[in-house]
Chain A
Amino acid sequence: MAHDIGFEALAEDALLLRFGERIDGELNARVQTAAARLRERLPQLECVPAYASLLLRFDPSSWTGHDGGEPHRQLQDAVRTALGEGGTIAATPRERVVPVCYGGAYGPDLADVAALCGLGVEALIARHTAAEYRVAMLGFAPGFPYLLGLDPQLAVPRRRDPRQRVPAGSVAIGGSQTGIYPEALPGGWQLIGRTPLRLFDASASPPSLLAAGDRVRFQAIDEDRFRQLAADEPR
């Protein structure tokens, strides 16, 4: 699996593995597999998966060869070996169900998004909950998942006037992507609903509900259920 990876030394302590240049489920799956393998074989590295690339951060002083060889070269060889080895690769992806109360005060853009998609509100919710998503990466803010797998018919442009404050838990569509705001943040995506789950808690272990590689499904819930679940979440 290592033969068609591009390696790029980004910084003194950073090596980028590039698998491709597209947002694509198959490419991202290769990234997640490589990240799992490297975490197992070279646990001293920090692995940061993205859509089609994997950043490795390392201590250059521990990768300098006995011959004074350049650390990125040494690391690259070790990565090739680790990815070329047979044997078990990480566990199957975790499955997460994320309950969402769609529309109303929780999803103020739902009707607009439905109209832009040429769908009724119920049909939009049905399509959004029918798909299986994959967490391609976390970024933008702690615990913010970039999800692959949005039904192409649900792709809508970002808002022309971004909101100063998007409430925590908001489930949103921006372009061909869907995501969940873990905290109250400024944001330009269209808000279609909200989850009562807490996505990120720095004092919890693990701090993030989701990790890159997880499979995610959304499940529609009503306001009563939202309040019930919200009350159960640690704050």
Chain B
Amino acid sequence: MSVSILKPGLLSSLQDAGRPGHAALGVGRAGAMDGPAWQLANALVGNRRGEAAIECTLIGPSLRFERAAVIALTGAAIAAHVGDRPIPLWTCCRLPAGSVLRLGGMTHGSRAYLAVRGGFDVAPLLGSRSSDLHARLGYQHGRALRAGDVLPIGTTEPLPGLAAGEAVQPLHWGIDPRPWFDFGGRPLALLPGSHGHLLDPASQPLLHGATFIVSQDSNRTASRLDGHALRLCEPLELISEATLPGTLQLPPSGQPIALLAEAPVTGGYPRIGQIAAVDLPHLAQRRPGDAVCFRGSTLDEALARLAARQRRLGRLIEAIARRLEHA
């Protein structure tokens, strides 16, 4: 069983939870930019082991399923069709053998996840099937998917409640995306960074409150933020140390850079803030041209929000699993 990529879309790659634990070797985590959306896509097809999904960026791919497949789409609001039939998001859907799934543009957000029941069965590297486009690790040396790629799909039991047939068959229920997708462009919680107090007096109030714009020059490594140049009181020469996703760096240009899933493991730019982990998926969903603003937050608040989200996500995933079994 496999799926063929007919058109690759703008930037499509396999992503899972990533490769934690290897930063000391110079290997970053990579993984899904919007973790909850990726987890929920897997949950909706009944995958329980953190299978890889296709992360689509801005414009999705077109794919042909050799045999019948059960899929789910989550994350950004992406156009999805089989023939003329629209495919609903945030639910699960059985596609008959030979279906061509055409994913198009996104009306909100920039990253959508396509999970397939059984998962994409490519060889894991260092415990993950994620493509690290920067370090060139993963499927086909970590490159983006191309037309002609054929991805094997793992074998599974059929899903009860979705009978075999020649028609596209969605479930009669789905999940509400609103808790998991920020449609409103809320301010992102920003924890203090090591060098934030060194911003000059004009830059201090801009960091919390001014509106920045996501630059065209953004990718899985970082979102570059345009709109206001920030300055330190005096230039700071730092030696390289470990960096993290979520770190807001300030290079000499004054244009802040928010590191994302493919953050390099070391870097030497001043750190003016750390975006709360719970808000990183929301940043990852902002498109070039979208607004970003920050509000000051604390480690305690960020930890509490993260723990609360993990509990909610865990409960929802369990509820989905129970409902799929009894569908």
Which A residues lie at the B interface, using CB under 8 A?
8-14, 16, 21-23, 35, 46-53, 55, 57, 60-61, 70-72, 137-144, 146, 182-183, 200, 202-203, 206-208, 211-212
Instruction: Flag if B241 contacts A9 (CB, 8 Å).
Output: no
Alpha-carbon distance between A10 and B196 when the two chains are bound, in angstroms: 12
A51 touches B24 (CB 8 A): no
Which one of B198-206, B212-220, B297-305 is at the interface? B297-305
- 15 inter-chain pairs at a CB distance below 8 angstroms, sorted by A residue, are A8-B194, A10-B244, A11-B274, A12-B302, A12-B303, A22-B239, A46-B23, A48-B242, A52-B241, A72-B299, A139-B266, A202-B125, A203-B125, A206-B25, A207-B27
Docked-complex contact A211 and B24, CB < 8 angstroms? yes
A137 CA to B20 CA, complexed, in Å = 17
Q: Which 5 A-B pairs have the closest CB atoms?
A: A139-B266, A55-B242, A138-B26, A50-B241, A48-B242
> B residues within 8 A CB of A60?
303, 306-307
Instruction: Check: B191 CB closer than 8 A to any chain A CB.
Output: yes
Tell me if B126 is interfacial: C-beta within 8 Å of chain A: yes
Within 8 Å by CB of A212, from B24, B126, B241, lies B24
Residues of B within 8 A of A8 (CB): 194
Q: Min CB distance, A224 to chain B, in Å?
A: 30
Question: How far apart are A61's CB and chain B's nearest CB, in angstroms?
Answer: 7
Query: For the complex, what is the distance from the CA of A35 to the CA of B239, rounded to whole Å?
Result: 19
Contacts of A142 in B (CB 8 A): 22, 25-27, 135, 137
Is residue B197 contacting chain A, with contact meaning CB distance below 8 A? no
Contact A202 B23 (CB under 8 A): no
- List residues of chain B with CB within 8 A of the CB of A206: 25
Q: Nearest Cβ distance between residue B227 and chain A, in whole angstroms?
A: 24
A55 and B23 contact, Cβ closer than 8 Å, known pairs A16-B241, A60-B306, A139-B264: yes
Asked if B277 is at the interface (CB within 8 A of a chain A CB), the reply is: yes
Chain A residues with CB under 8 Å of B135's CB are 141-142
Partner of B26, one of A11, A13, A140: A140
> Using a Cβ cutoff of 8 Å, how many contacts connect chains A and B?
114
Whether the Cβ atoms of A46 and B21 lie closer than 8 Å is yes
Across the interface, do B306 and A50 meet the contact criterion of CB distance under 8 Å? Answer: no
Measured CB to CB, the closest approach of chain B to A64, in angstroms, equals: 8
Report whether over half of chain B's contact residues are helix, strand or loop; otherwise say mixed. Answer: mixed
Chain B residues with CB under 8 Å of chain A are 20-27, 125-126, 135-137, 191, 194, 238-242, 244, 246-247, 264-266, 271, 274, 276-277, 299-300, 302-303, 306-307, 310
Q: How far is the CA of A202 from the CA of B266 in the complex (A)?
A: 19
B137, chain A: closest CB distance, angstroms = 6
Whether B194 and A48, one on each chain, are in contact in the complex, defined by CB atoms closer than 8 angstroms, is no
A78 to B264, CA, bound (A): 28
> Closest residue of chain B to A8, judged by CB?
B194
Q: What are the residues of chain A within 8 A of B194 when measuring CB–CB?
A: 8, 10, 16
Task: Check if B306 sits within 8 Å of A12, measured CB to CB.
Answer: yes
Nearest CB of chain B from residue A149's CB, rounded to whole Å? 16
Contact in complex: A11, B23 (CB < 8 Å): no
- Report chain A residues within 8 Å CB of B191: 11
Contact of B25 among A9, A14, A138 (CB under 8 A): A138
Identify B241's interface contact among A12, A53, A61, A71, CB under 8 A.
A53
Enumerate chain B residues within 8 angstroms of A50, measured Cβ to Cβ: 239-242, 266
Chain B residue numbers with a CB within 8 Å of A47 are 24
Extra pairs beyond A12-B276, A47-B24, A140-B264 (17, CB < 8 Å)? A8-B194, A10-B194, A11-B246, A16-B242, A23-B239, A46-B20, A48-B23, A51-B239, A51-B241, A55-B241, A61-B310, A139-B265, A141-B135, A142-B27, A143-B25, A203-B125, A211-B25
Looking across the interface, which residue of chain A has its beta carbon closest to that of B266? A139
CB distance from A68 to the nearest CB of B (A): 10
- Chain B residues with Cβ below 8 Å from A208 are 25-26
Q: Which residues on B sit within 8 Å (CB–CB) of A9?
A: 299
A143 near B21 with CB under 8 A, answer no
B256 to chain A, nearest CB (A): 17
Point out the residues of chain A lying under 8 angstroms from B271, CB to CB: 10
A206 to chain B, nearest CB (A): 8
Bound complex: CA A21 to CA B247 (Å): 19
* Cβ distance A46 to chain B, nearest Cβ, rounded Å: 5
A35 cross-chain contacts in B, Cβ below 8 A: 24
Tell me which residues across on chain B come within 8 A of A55, comparing CB atoms.
Answer: 23, 241-242, 244
Cα(A44)–Cα(B300), bound, Å: 22
Contact A207 B126, beta carbon cutoff 8 Å: yes
A144 / chain B contacts, CB cutoff of 8 Å: 26
Inside 8 A of B247's CB, which chain A residues have their CB? 10-11
CA distance A37 to B67 in the complex (A): 53
Distance from B116 Cβ to chain A, minimum over Cβ atoms (Å): 24
Q: Shortest Cβ distance from A75 into chain B, in angstroms?
A: 12
